[in-house]
Amino acid sequence: MCGIAGIIGDNQSKEHLEKMLRIQSHRGPDFTGRFFDGEKVAIGHNRLSIIDLREVSNQPFYSDDKRFILVFNGEIYNYLELKQELEKDFHFHTTSDTEVLLKAYQKWGKDCLSRFNGMFSFAIWDTLKQKLFAARDRFGVKPFYYYQKGEKLIFSSEIPALFETNIKKSPSEKVWASFFAKGTYGFPNETFWKEIHQLPGGHYLEFENGNLNVTKWYSFVDRVNELIGTSKENEEEYIDSLLRDSIRLRFRADVPVGFNLSGGLDSSTLLGLVSHEYPNTDSIQAFTFYTGDDRYDELPWVNQMISRTSFPLNKCLLTAEEIPELTSEMSAIQLEPFGGIPTLAYAKVFKEARLKGVIVLLDGQGADESWAGYDYYFNHSDSLVQGVKSSPVKPDTLAPQFRNFTDRQSFDLPFEDKLLNLQYRDLFYTKIPRALRFNDRVSMASSTELREPFLDYRLVEYAFSRPESFKRKGGVQKYILRQVANKYLGDSITLAPKRPLQTPQREWLGSELKDWAGDRISELAHNSAWFEKGKMMQYWDNYLKGDNNNSFYIWQWINAAEILK
């Protein structure tokens, strides 16, 4: 839902704000609003109407006394419950979660954040104190990027918008070098560009008189430690109730809601839960992608599952011929590396949903990290790239001077248990942050909203805090989740193995797309001082000759060539 943008500081430019709003207009095509406070403040909003579609809920949104000005991206899922509490003190003019958010801030200040169950990124300008308050949800589902220099702060929902304000576009050698050498995507406060920062999930920002302070408001570790050692009388029933409540909350919308479907456990569980909560309906549509390659497509599983319901299934075909144009389009929106051809296939799902009039989609993101669903949690591998036998990266292709920029990054180890520390890494540093970025951009590129029921903080905290026997039993991973899912799906689905979402990327890059891929790689090799050109081209030649066990590093180079051109 939506895009936000703002410029705080002397001599702010209305022209720059307009450019920012224009370049991220795909995030909110329904209305574009602006607020100006003299020559110091320019704040804007691109609205994708989801709840209370009326003009009265457009943004920027003003408090009754006009002191506070809000721009908000996301959804507060429990807004109806909060509204009941706030009605004791406030009169409401809309039925939106936007008004609930602002009045919650007026009543509780920054403490309102812990009361929200949702995904959000918002900024509130206090016209009295001349102060900006901005915050991001617990796991960073919704983005907040910013640039600060002296007494000026510029923020937006997407990085390209920031570069519309004459900020110098300089790559961060540390982040890029670490990406090529290790496959990492930077820390939660970093981006691939110098001086462009992101507000980490679970943090808020205050900017006043040129002073910037970033503060952590969500302590996941403390929450989990409070839960470790506790238990519910019936664990399965409790998890089941949390899952069903999470689904119900995320179906709150005044526009059509659908869901994404693949052949895995998480997606299957989502299907079962939606079918249970909303039975005998054909108004909720399902979407899946396929490539026409039986080695990777999950249509047999998907068809088997959907046949048990009345939900229409939309099948979105991705072909090799589409990849060059889609890569160029997505690189321009992301302006940071993204997850290869599977991400492009996923993007087609949202495009199809928008064409069918479905504005909100649910998917199964987040279950593997909280339920320990990845194999490497138990096979003593620390690799961040699954399903490959050879090294997914080729650091020896980097020029020595550039390779020295590689960050010797280490992650927090807040727990005594190694498994919990691996899960914590993936939740806050690696898999979830990058997946949420990929998914936010691909959904919003088509002016649709993605919601992740498995990332309901109540569910994540509780599942994460359970002992290993809760997550794996008899060699079966996500054991209790499978037991719950069995109520809705049956053993044939819940016992299905873990399968990464895949496409024929490895084959396409070496055959149908080899000329396009080769041009991109050659372009990067010859135009960048970051690489040993000979080694890089030798790897590509070997790939074409059959040394193609994995294509991660090939995609890295192609993606970088598109972004850095």
Q: 301 by DSSP, 3-state: which?
A: helix
Provide Rg for the chain, Cα atoms: 23
Q: 419 by DSSP, 3-state: which?
A: helix
DSSP conformational letter for 548: -
8 Å CB contact between 498 and 264:
yes
DSSP conformational letter for 229: T
Q: Indicate the pairing of strand 68-76 with strand 211-216.
A: unpaired
Query: Long-range contacts made by residues 164-167, C-beta under 8 angstroms, separation at least 24?
Result: 164/16, 164/19, 164/20, 164/22, 164/23, 165/7, 165/13, 165/16, 165/19, 165/20, 166/16, 167/195, 167/196
What's the length of the chain?
565
Rounded to whole angstroms, the Cα distance separating 377 from 494 reads 20
DSSP conformational letter for 199: P
Query: Is residue 135 classed exposed, middle or buried when 0-12, 13-18 and 19+ CB atoms within 10 A define those classes?
Result: buried
The crossing angle, in degrees rounded to 10, of helices 431-444 and 323-334 is 110
What contacts 496, CB < 8 A, 6 or more positions away? 263, 264, 265, 268, 301
Would residue 2 show up in a list of annotated catalytic residues for this protein? Answer: yes
Tokens in use for 453? Answer: 């029921």
What contacts 379, CB < 8 A, 6 or more positions away? none
- DSSP H helical ranges for 68-185: 79-86, 97-108, 159-162, 173-182
What amino acid occupies position 337? Answer: P
Rounded to whole angstroms, the Cα distance separating 187 from 560 reads 19
Rounded to whole angstroms, the Cα distance separating 51 from 341 reads 33
8 Å CB contact between 508 and 318:
no
Which is catalytic among the residues 1, 2, 124, 489?
2
Q: 549 phi and psi, to 5 degrees?
A: -60, -35
8 Å CB contact between 524 and 564:
yes
Rounded to whole angstroms, the Cα distance separating 186 from 427 reads 14
Tell me the HSE value of 245 on the side-chain side, using a 13 A CA sphere: 13
What contacts 122, CB < 8 A, 6 or more positions away? 4, 70, 71, 72, 73, 74, 101, 134, 135
Rounded to whole angstroms, the Cα distance separating 554 from 525 reads 12
Q: What is the biggest distance separating any 2 CA atoms in the chain, rounded to whole angstroms?
A: 71
Tokens in use for 344? Answer: 């492009």
Tokens in use for 560? Answer: 């970088």
**Residues acting as catalytic residues:** 2
